[in-house]
Amino acid sequence: MANRGFDIRKLTGFTSIAMACFFMLYMPIILLVVYSFNSGTSIAIWEGFSWRWYVSAWDNQMVQEATVRSLVIAVSAAAISTSVAVLAALGTTRTGKFRGQSTVFALIHQPLMVPEIVTAVALLIFFASIKVVTGYTGLLYLIIAHSAFCIPFAYLPIRARLQGMDLTLEQAGADLYGTPFQVFRHVTLPQLWPGILAGAMLAFVISLDDVVITEFVKSAGQDTLPTYMLGQLRRVVTPEINAISTVLLCISVTMVIAYTLLSRAKK
């Protein structure tokens, strides 16, 4: 009889444990979505179906301002971090081994390895000293902070895409007297686009959902949607928060699905 190898799905109790884990993980999210349509003010007692809290959130001026601010920061951070990630990925995949390569990898992945609270405190101290000297307290600090934090998230799919690409086309372009920029523009970039878009979307979602770094770096009146929700939860919890959370969930799920599809793209 042929040895089919080890299959964890055949272990006793695997299905039950897996279902229990999925239940505990997703049931709170399902309840949040369901109660966002509650017509009453309670987040635990169902009083009927209604779009009331979505309309309330849509008409809330503070929610509108926080949403616009979140989108501006997320789009800017995604664009900056993806641009830097492309250069970093090219520098670490299209060159031979060089001295200090491990240090470069460690620096790129630093936001992933260091607890976010440590990064937030460091950015707070750094930007506070700049604010004292310049007197500037605008959104640029949040954009820079989010961009720095999102670089490794954008870098990973871009680097993976570059590593999976066939080098013969780039070599052929160089053999045909193409300059490095021409080879990148006409050969590498068209093949790299799925990875770039995947990295940009992942960076966008990470920036849009960030709370810790934003809470430490932001100045007065610069609440993003997540920090606005955090502030509301400290005062009173209403289904309006559930409605906003559901919208954010839909955006995040859509972006993650698109990221997964682009990561799998072959052409």
For 207-263, how does the pLDDT look when each residue is reduced to its tens digit (9 = 90+)? 988 999 999 999 888 899 889 888 887 777 778 888 888 888 888 888 778 777 766
CB-count burial class (<10 Å; 0-12, 13-18, 19+) for 5: exposed
Res. 4 pLDDT band, cuts 50 70 90: low
Q: What is the predicted pLDDT for the residue at 22?
A: 87
Return the domain boundaries, the chain. Answer: 60-263
Rounded CA separation 193/161 (Å): 9
- Per-residue model confidence as pLDDT tens digits over 94-116: 776 777 777 777 788 888 888 88
Q: What is the predicted pLDDT for the residue at 126?
A: 92
On the question of pLDDT at 13 being above 80, the answer is no
Closest among 266, 263, 258 to 204, alpha carbons compared: 258
**SS3 assignment, position 63:** helix
Q: What is the predicted pLDDT for the residue at 263?
A: 64
Distance of CA 92 to CAs 77, 116, 228, Å?
22, 25, 39
What CATH number does the domain located at 60-263 have? 1.10.3720.10
